[in-house]
């Protein structure tokens, strides 16, 4: 009974990770969608850690989830801060314009 439920949860995490990877690969112009795709991939990995932590009755997976969530939150905060300051200066957030910067 519990193994069939794990298969469904693993299918959901695989689907979420695939959506994030496809969003990362297909969208190369908008940096906000790239950041959201990376966050979706990290959250699917966190859900995978939680599923196996519950299945194996181990707390270590939940500890990893806390560490990954803090790193993901700081990554998003720093990325959005850099993006907002760049938008104030250049009035655009397209990656094509960012790649052309020198120095």
Q: Structurally, how many domains does the chain consist of?
A: 1
What are 14-46's pLDDT values in tens digits? 999 999 999 999 987 888 888 889 999 999 999
Q: How far apart are CA 10 and CA 12, in angstroms?
A: 5
* Mean pLDDT in residue range 51-73: 90
What are 68-86's pLDDT values in tens digits? 999 988 988 998 898 888 8
**Residue 17 resides in a domain:** yes
Residue 25's domain spans which residues? 2-94
pLDDT higher than threshold 70 for residue 3: no
**Residue 99 resides in a domain:** no
Q: What is the CATH number of the domain that holds 68?
A: 1.10.287.3510
Write the CA distances from 86 to 42, 64, 90, 93, 98, integer angstroms.
Answer: 25, 33, 6, 7, 9
**Residue 103 resides in a domain:** no
Please enumerate in sequence order all residues whose Cβ is within 8 A of that of 19, keeping only pairs 6 or more positions apart, or say none.
Answer: 40
């Amino acid at each position: 009974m519990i193994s069939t439920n794990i298969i469904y949860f693993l299918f959901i995490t695989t689907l979420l990770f695939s959506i994030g990877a496809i969003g990362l690969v297909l969208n190369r112009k908008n940096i906000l969608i790239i950041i959201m795709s990376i966050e979706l991939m990290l959250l699917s990995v966190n859900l995978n850690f939680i599923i196996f932590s519950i299945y194996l009755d181990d707390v270590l997976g939940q500890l990893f989830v806390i560490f990954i969530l803090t790193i993901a939150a700081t990554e998003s905060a720093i990325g959005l801060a850099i993006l907002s300051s760049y938008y104030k200066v250049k009035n655009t957030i397209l990656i094509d314009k960012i790649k052309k910067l020198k120095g």
